[in-house]
Amino acid sequence: MVNQARVKLYEVKSRHSINLPSELVRDSTFPFKPGEPLLARIKGGKLIIESEGVISQTVLLPDDE
């Protein structure tokens, strides 16, 4: 099971991307499917990526904003 990987932030003109290694994405515990809408946010100095479906069901408390 692969539950973490080293990644880099890439910049091409005004776009930025993070490529995830295939062994991480193909792991059976990886929570997302290709093409699935995701929401990225910053909280406490960390990048959080969640499924939009999970976000729509979550009540955000003042600390989460």
Each residue of 6-20: pLDDT tens digit?
999 999 999 999 999
The CA-CA-CA angle for residues 50, 55, 56, to 5°, reads 150
Residues 26 and 33: their CA atoms lie apart, in Å, by 10
Q: Which is it for the CA torsion 11, 13, 17, 21, positive or negative? A: negative
> For 23-64, what is each residue's pLDDT tens digit?
999 999 999 999 999 999 999 999 999 998 766 555 556 655
State the pTM of this model. Answer: 0.68
pLDDT reported for residue 52 = 86
Q: Which is it for the CA torsion 18, 21, 27, 33, positive or negative? A: positive
Bridge partners of 48? Answer: 41
